[in-house]
Amino acid sequence: MKGILFTCFLVIATTSAFGGDVNPAQDLNAFQKYFSSKFPNLPFREYINGVYAIDAESRSQWQEIEEFPPYELSISEGESEWKKPFSNGKTYQSCFPWPVNEGIRSHYPHWDVEHKRVVTLERALNECREANSEKPLEWEDSKLVGLSAYLAFHSRGKAMNVTIPNEEAKHAYAEGKHFFYTKRGQLNVSCADCHVYNASQKIRADILSPALGHASHFPVYRSEWEGIGGLHRRFVGCNKNVRAKPFQEQGVEYSNLEYFLTYMNNGLSFNGPAVRK
């Protein structure tokens, strides 16, 4: 009964996503309480492990893979790229006020007050390139994904703590929330249908993972991709799976969705890069 009540609250909350009564803190509390009710024996910290937190057989297979993780090469390539000077002699570090070992990944996504938009880590890396007279990379370029993997690795254990500093940021959050709960595509399915209401259920041979924790472990190596990719690549894939036209990676739609989803994960820690099916 408790789970049903929380589900009803979450559905009702989305109906006013663009109204002045949007309350992110209330949303966060309801979202996390919903999952604690759905999985009462699952420790909060375990959500960062996705489906491996709720399925013992999958967890065992994952732990074996993690003994020789397939994303290690990307971390190494990312480190080399991070330390490689631009043509002006500067490096990526010149664009960030935090050293790598302080968890640069943990500061993203955030609301850029000056430019009035959500800035993801990947966008910040490309903006750094442009600020140093270098061409931006494609969003799934191995160099950019490697940089993301390298910074994610050095942010493991850092807490997610997304803030919403003003009304403009709240509007971006509300748009991300609206996207998350809106049904789309020929299959008429929302993100929440799979990863909130039906989390732990099977779709074909796969178990649907809880949305709580989703933002913690990217970029990920997926066997389906035979490689490593970012969160927005996953958004694109999900939209295609429900036969909806995907949006552009790092566009406003997916950036706001990442902003909302990461805020819902506040209190959990980053643990990327990771392996997922």
Sign of dihedral through CA atoms 28, 47, 237, 147? Answer: positive
- Percent of residues in the chain assigned helix, strand, coil, to nearest 5: 50, 10, 40
List of E strands, the chain: 110-112, 117-119, 202-203, 206-207, 220-222, 227-229, 274-276
How many Cβ atoms are within 10 Å of 67's Cβ, its own excluded? 6
CA atoms within 13 A on the CB side of 55: 18
Distance CA 144, CA 134 (A): 13
Instruction: Report the b/e string of 90-110 with b at 16+ CB within 10 A.
Output: ebbeeebeeebeebbbbbbbb
In this structure, the strands spanning 227-229 and 110-112 are unpaired
- As annotated, the active-site residues are 238
